[in-house]
Amino acid sequence: MKEKIKVGGIMQSDGRAIVKLLAVPDRADAPGLILGALGRKNVNIEFLVESTDLDGQANFTFCIDEGALERALAALETVKTEVDAKVVTYIPDVSVVSVFGPHFREKPRISGIMFSALAAVGINTLAISTSISSVSCVVEAKNVDAAIDALYEAFDAPHRVRQRAKGY
C-alpha cells in the first residue's frame, strides 16, 4: 500500500450555491463592478474563479451561501448590462469540499490525488479553486458524504469531525 500524504485536514461547507456570470468582454473594470455589486447586496463570496473562454470572454464563478442566492442574482442582473455579460446562471444545493495544508507548496501531488479520489467514486466537480494552503472544489450536495469519505481514504488527515460549516 502506498503511503498517504499527510494534510492538515478535510473540510466541507454545506448550504451553498454556485452563481455564474458568463461571457463578459475583457475590460479592466469588470471585476470591480461585479464584485462591488455583490458587496452592496451583502453577498459574501466563499469561492471565486475567473477564467477566459476561447472567444476571450471572461467567466466568473462564485460560490455563496444559498441564503444569499436571491440577492446575488439581483445584483448580477443589475450589473449584467453594465459589463455586457451574456448570461447569469446558478446551481443551488452544492457544497464546498476542501483539503487544507500546511505547506502545500512542498506537496505538488495533492491536487492530483484529490481529484483522482473523487473521480474514482464518480464525483464530478462543478468548480475548482486553490491557494498555497488549500485545494477546494464544489460538488452537488447529494455527493458530499461520498466526497469526504473518498478524501479521508486518499489522505492522512486528522480524525473526522462530523460538524459541518453551515452559513456564516
pLDDT tens string 106-150: 788 899 999 999 999 999 999 999 988 899 999 999 999 999 999
Nearest-10 Cα torsion for 105, 107, 109, 111: -50
pLDDT tens string 23-79: 999 999 999 999 999 999 999 999 999 999 999 999 999 999 999 999 999 999 999
Q: Can you point out the beta strands (E) in 32-86?
A: 45-52, 58-65
CB 94 within 8 A of CB 13: no
The whole-angstrom separation of Cα 18 and Cα 54 is: 22
Residue 99: all three cell numbers together? 483539503
Question: In the CATH scheme, what is the code of domain 9-14+93-161?
Answer: 3.30.70.260
Sign of CA dihedral 117, 166, 80, 31: negative
Beta-carbon contacts of residue 159 (< 8 Å; ≥ 6 apart): none
Give the confidence band of 101 by pLDDT, cuts at 50, 70, 90: confident
Question: Is 80 exceeded by the pLDDT of residue 102?
Answer: no
Superfamily of domain 16-91: ACT domain (3.30.70.260)
So what's the pLDDT on residue 83?
97
Intervals of CATH 3.30.70.260 along the chain: 9-14+93-161, 16-91
So what's the pLDDT on residue 168?
47
H-helix or E-strand containing 12?
strand 9-24
- Apex CA 152: angle with CA 147 and CA 154, to 5°? 95
